[in-house]
Amino acid sequence: MPRTPRGRGPAPNVRLRQRQRPVRRRLPGQLVTADFLRGLLEATRARLPTDLRALKAQQQGSLVKLFAEDPEIHFEVWLHRGRERAELGLHFETHDPRRNQRLLEYVGDELQFLKEVLGNGLEAEPWDKGWTRVYLTRPLTRLDPDEQADLAGGFAELIEILEPLRREAMDATADLNP
C-alpha cells in the first residue's frame, strides 16, 4: 500500500479495504443452507412415526427446531459449517435455569441407555444462559442430498428415542412448569 513520507499511514488517495469473510464456495450438487435444512426437515418428518409428524417446526439461519407444546423445549439440528459438524439434540432453553437443570437431570438418568442406543458421542450438559442440552455431533462436510438423508435419519432416530423421555421429564417437573 502506498504510504505517505516517513511511514505516517496510508496515502490520502488510497482506500483501506476491510477484510471480508471468506466466500464459501459450493461444489456441484451442494445445496444452500436454507434448502438443505428444508429438505432435511421434510425427510426427518417422513421417517418419524405418525404421532410425531405433527411436531411444529421453526427454521432460522443454520438450524431447525422441532417442538410439541413449548418451543423453548425442542429438538434441534444446528449446522456448524466452519467446524464441519452438525449438532443433533434436545434442548431445554426455558427462562428458568432450575427447570432446565431438572429436565436435564431427568433425561440424564437414562444417559447410559441413550449412549448404547444413539452412540457414545451423546452428551448431556448445562449450556449457555442457564440452558441445558442432550446432544451429539456428526461430521458435516457437504450440504448435498446424501448428507441430508443421513442427517435426517439420525435426527429422526434421536427424536423417536428421546421424545418419550421428554414427555416424562415434562410431567416429572410439572411443579416448575409455567
Cβ neighbour number for residue 20 with a 10 Å cutoff? 6
The domains located in the chain, with CATH, are 32-176 (3.30.1460)
Cell 416424562 sits on residue: 168
Q: Residue 3 has what DSSP assignment?
A: B
pLDDT digits (tens, 9 = 90+) for 14-70: 565 665 655 556 666 688 999 999 999 999 999 999 999 999 999 999 999 999 999
Q: How confident is the model at residue 13 (pLDDT cuts 50, 70, 90)?
A: low
Closest CA to 114 of 94, 134, 132, 96: 134
Q: Does the global pTM surpass 0.75?
A: yes
Reduced to 3 states, what is the DSSP secondary structure of residue 128? helix
Question: What is the CB-side half-sphere exposure of residue 127 using CA atoms within 13 A?
Answer: 17
Tell whether the model's pLDDT for residue 76 goes beyond 70: yes
